[in-house]
A = this chain, B = another copy of it.
Amino acid sequence: MELMKRTKIVDALKKTDFGEDICIKGWVRTRRGNKNVSFIELNDGSSVHNIQIVADNNKLGIEFLKPITTGACIGVTGKLTQSLGKGQSVEIQAEDIVIYGTADPETYPLQKKEHTMEFLREIAHLRPRTNTFGAVFRIRHHMAMAIHTFFHERGFYYFHTPIITGSDCEGAGQLFQVTTLNLSDLPKAENGCIDYSNDFFGKQTGLTVSGQLEGELGALALGAIYTFGPTFRAENSNTPRHLSEFWMIEPEVAFNELEDNMQLAEDFVKYCVRWALDNCKDDLEFLNNRYDAELIDRLKFVVENDFVRLTYTEGIKILEDAMAKGQKFEFPVGWGIDLQSEHERYLVEKHFKKPVILTDYPKDIKAFYMKLNDDGKTVRAMDVLFPKIGEIIGGSQREDNYEKLKARAKEMEVPDK
């Protein structure tokens, strides 16, 4: 059967032209009903919400409807009608149904119940069909659009930096090696080392840990660039904050000073959060209800408040004062330490109750290329600290004095080549 042009469920749910014919296609979430009528909850990924299909068992045939179980893929044409049931505004009175694919109820693993993340990990090919993964993927898409639109509106150019690289990056952890050599028969040089001259690029290469170096070159030509691409860490740490493969955003701007970078970071975060609040309402509400009842309030709070800006030195003083008043931390506090999540979150969640931008960190815990302050001890670094997360953005004004840069590289034992 040829069906009429399909309407996405996200659009169908907003329609009010009741009595008109409509065609939708999607995957069955549940079917329930009685002897006379079947109610099919259909989802097509365009929304976290399903649309309800009402099917007359006698008209369509009880045997025909039988294989329409959870996970089946169907197309439906019928009349859009105002729903009398609670929790939905429209439903479809099915005229015709086409079954594109069935899902055996005995073996199809996604059923109408909460599945654990561990279980979903085992069925990675199906988990995008769950409400949670659907919501996350839709929000992720919107965040990508927000990121590109933000930078585009400000005259930044999207810059694709190399994924396979011959350069390492400061202390970013172990590299994934990339090779086309036959590992079962590696060529050796006379000194016994592996001879990379016949590897694809004629030398040892790995997956990038940062596009910063190429991004800086781009900024010194195009004025302002940003990267947004996959980045890799071969660290075997299993925490919610470590991934071996993830997408990272790295803006680089010629002529920017630290204050400009702070403003860019604050504007950027607020722009993305506002985009989510404006465009991902249903998915955020789902996540708010299911996982974190303060999620939406926290996002609104970020958008509505100026970020607090203070120096690392002032931040340490606040933490020390808190300890003097009885606050306990797992890790020690003192000028020179690398702040832990618990310290960052204390400043954000307990002390200021706002996002915080901490600046002017001790030079010894930051990268060699950050601009040295006149005190000779601190650098023009900034970290944006966020409720529930801690550091969400790190950045700095770059050292623009070549002699100082060389001296700092030497001090921190950065190799010349």
Complex-state Cα separation, A217 to B244, whole angstroms: 22
Across the interface, which residues of B come within 8 angstroms of A152, CB to CB?
Answer: 141, 145
Chain B residue at smallest Cβ distance from A127:
B221
Do residues A163 and B218 form an inter-chain contact, with CB atoms below 8 A?
no
Nearest to A180 among chain B residues (CB) is B234
A244 touches B200 (CB 8 A): yes
Interface string of A169-184 (1 = CB under 8 A from B): 0000010111111011
The answer to the question of A314 belonging to the interface, with a C-beta cut-off of 8 Å to chain B, is: no
Q: Which of B26, B181, B193, B229 contacts A229 (CB 8 A)?
A: B229
Closest to A159 in B: B137
Q: What residues of B have a CB within 8 angstroms of the CB of A163 in the complex? A: 163, 207, 230, 232, 245
Closest B residue to A147 using CB positions: B148
Q: List 22 A-B contacts (CB under 8 A).
A: A10-B155, A25-B255, A26-B223, A27-B221, A44-B254, A45-B221, A45-B222, A46-B222, A125-B217, A126-B221, A128-B217, A133-B221, A138-B222, A140-B160, A162-B245, A163-B232, A164-B176, A177-B180, A179-B179, A183-B194, A184-B194, A200-B234
Please indicate the chain B residues that have their CB under 8 angstroms from the CB of A310 in the complex.
none
Cross-interface CB contact of A222 among B134, B179, B186, cutoff 8 Å: B134
Chain A interface bracket (under 10, 10 to 19, 20 to 34, 35 or more): 35 or more
Q: Is the CB of B141 within 8 A of A158?
A: yes
Q: Across the interface, do A223 and B44 meet the contact criterion of CB distance under 8 Å? A: yes
A236 at the interface (CB under 8 A from B): yes
| Interface: A100 (CB within 8 A) | yes
Q: A177: which B residues are within 8 A, CB to CB?
A: 178-180, 183
CB interface residues, A 143-159, toward B, < 8 Å:
144-145, 148, 152, 155, 157-159
**Hey, which chain B residues are within 8 Å of A176, CB to CB?**
164, 178-180, 200
Tell me if A400 is interfacial: C-beta within 8 Å of chain B. yes
For the complex, what is the distance from the CA of A238 to the CA of B125, rounded to whole Å?
37
Chain A interface main SS type: mixed
Write the nearest CB–CB distance from A271 to chain B, whole angstroms: 16
Task: Please tell me if A247 contacts chain B, counting CB pairs below 8 Å.
Answer: yes
Judging by beta carbons under 8 Å apart, are B200 and A25 in contact?
no
Distance between Cα atoms of A234 and B138 in the complex (Å): 33
The 6 closest A-B pairs by CB, nearest first: A128-B221, A45-B222, A45-B223, A141-B157, A129-B221, A141-B158
B residues near A218, Cβ cutoff 8 Å:
128, 137
Given the contacts A183-B177, A207-B178, A138 and B155 also touching, CB distance less than 8 Å: no
Q: Which residues of B contact A144 (CB under 8 A)?
A: 148, 158
State how many angstroms separate the Cβ of A198 from the closest Cβ of chain B.
11
B223 and A8 contacting across the interface, CB-CB below 8 Å: yes
CB distance from A335 to the nearest CB of B (A): 31
Asked whether B8 lies within 8 Å of A155 as measured between CB atoms, the reply is yes
Residue A392 interfacial (CB < 8 Å): no
Output the nearest chain B residue to A143 by Cβ-Cβ distance. B158
Asked if A178 meets B180 with Cβ closer than 8 Å, knowing A25-B255, A141-B158, A148-B145, the reply is no
Report the separation of the CA atoms of residues A148 and B150 in the bound assembly, to the nearest whole angstrom: 13
Asked whether A220 is an interface residue with its Cβ less than 8 Å from the other chain, the reply is yes
Convert A191-208 into 0s and 1s, putting 1 for each residue whose CB lies closer than 8 angstroms to a CB of B.
001100000100000010
Taking a contact as CB atoms under 8 Å apart, the answer to whether A244 and B164 are in contact is yes
* CB proximity of A244 to chain B, nearest CB, Å: 7
Nearest residue in B to A100 (C-beta to C-beta)? B400
Smallest distance from the beta carbon of A45 to chain B beta carbons, Å? 4
Q: Tell me, yes or no, whether A388 is within 8 Å of chain B by CB.
A: no
Q: Tell me whether A75 is interfacial, beta carbon within 8 Å.
A: yes
